[in-house]
Structure 1
Amino acid sequence: MQQSNDKIWFDATLYPHRSLSPRGFVILMVLISLISFTVGLVFYLRGAWPIFGFMGLDVLLIYVAFKLNYRSGKLVETISIIGDELIVRRIDHKGEEQCWAFNPYWVKVGLEFRKKDPKPIRQRHLFISSHGQGLFVGEFLTEEEREDVNRDLASALWRYKNSGHPAAV
């Protein structure tokens, strides 16, 4: 159980990167709408009026795809070593939370391949395990970001284990 005076050994918040800002999204959608409307109007004036509707459908599908992408970007994962617990929290795009707790003294952290990944695009994922149980975290991170989190978390675990902390003995 976390006490208010427990030492914070590690605390990281992980979230997916989205390169297009909300303002950029509005600008992009306005440009796509203008182009689609212009092209659709040309076809409409030449007698191919159904094309106008399909151009509008394209704009709608692009809008929906971006909104779904932004919604999945609301995923947040936190990894903390506070006192004598390593806690991983995952909050999905619906706001539903999952939580895992480990004793940091027994935790192993590393980059591992997932068995479900197809051979040509196999990537190493950050894996936290203890006593035969484990989980992959930060799957939305780039390979370089995973390596950084792995290095920082492994360093924090090393400091914890070598600190003389009562739970680490």
Structure 2
Amino acid sequence: MPAAALYMDAEIRPNRSLSERGFIILISVITLANCGSALIFMRMQAVFVLLPFLAIDVLAVAVAFMLSFRSGRVIERVQVSPSEVKITYETPKATKVVWESPTAFTRVTTEHDSDRRCTALRLALSGRETAVAAALSPGEREAFAKALEEAIWKARSHRD
């Protein structure tokens, strides 16, 4: 049985402005600055400042960036076929379907702010809604909304 035609198969990957190499450089600079501060505090005989403040702030920055990198590995996939619109979240370990709806009845809705920038993009069906493309900038989200509407329109007019 042949696979159904896809009118859209888009991958949305979150943008991270700091690479993993950049993170290593940043955490090294923070660690060196904290070591310098530690030397000053040790000379002042304020040893109790070292662990609670200096070590914990390096740990907090490292954990925050690790969580950011982990969330950056989540891929949002939007697929439009003649029969359904499907959104999945893919990680290196698993794939989770978060939305499935018949193409014929799925609507694309957008919200705009006072500057006419697209602040939210949603798929809607019978009172249910789900956000789409939240990782994109307002301009990219607007272009994606148009492409998604066009793909749904073409899929609706598909004939076997």
Q: What range is the shorter-chain TM-score in?
A: 0.7 to 0.9
Length, aligned pairs only? 155
CA deviation string 1:84-103 (max 9, x = no partner): 22111124687361342222
Instruction: Give 1:60 shift.
Output: 1.0
**Where does structure 2 lack aligned partners over 5 or more consecutive residues?**
113-117
- Is the 1:73–1:93 contact (alpha carbons within 8 Å) kept by the matching residues of 2? no
Cα distance between partner residues in 1 of 2:2 and 2:29: 52
Matched, 1:140 2:140: no
1:52 maps to 50
Question: Contact 1:9–1:160 (CA<8 Å) still a contact in 2?
Answer: yes
Kindly state the Cα deviation for residue 62 of structure 1 after the two structures are TM-superposed: 0.9
Ranges of 4+ aligned residues in structure 1 off by more than 3 Å: 91-96
CA distance in 2, matches of 1:41, 1:52: 9
Q: Secondary structure at the match of 2:139?
A: helix
CA 1:94–1:142 in structure 2 vs 1: closer, same or farther (change >3 Å)?
A: farther
Offset, 1:4: 3.3
Aligned: 1:87 with 2:82: no
**Aligned counterpart in structure 2 of residue 26 of structure 1, from 24, 27, 32:** 24
Question: Structure 1: which 5+ runs fail to align?
Answer: 114-122
CA contact (8 A) 2:7 2:155 kept: yes
| 1:8 alignment partner, SS class | coil
Q: CA RMSD in A?
A: 2.4
The question of 1:39 aligning with 2:26 is answered no
Distance in 2 between residues matched to 1:43 and 1:93, nearest whole Å: 44
TM-score, normalised to structure 1, is 0.79
Corresponding residue SS for 1:19? coil
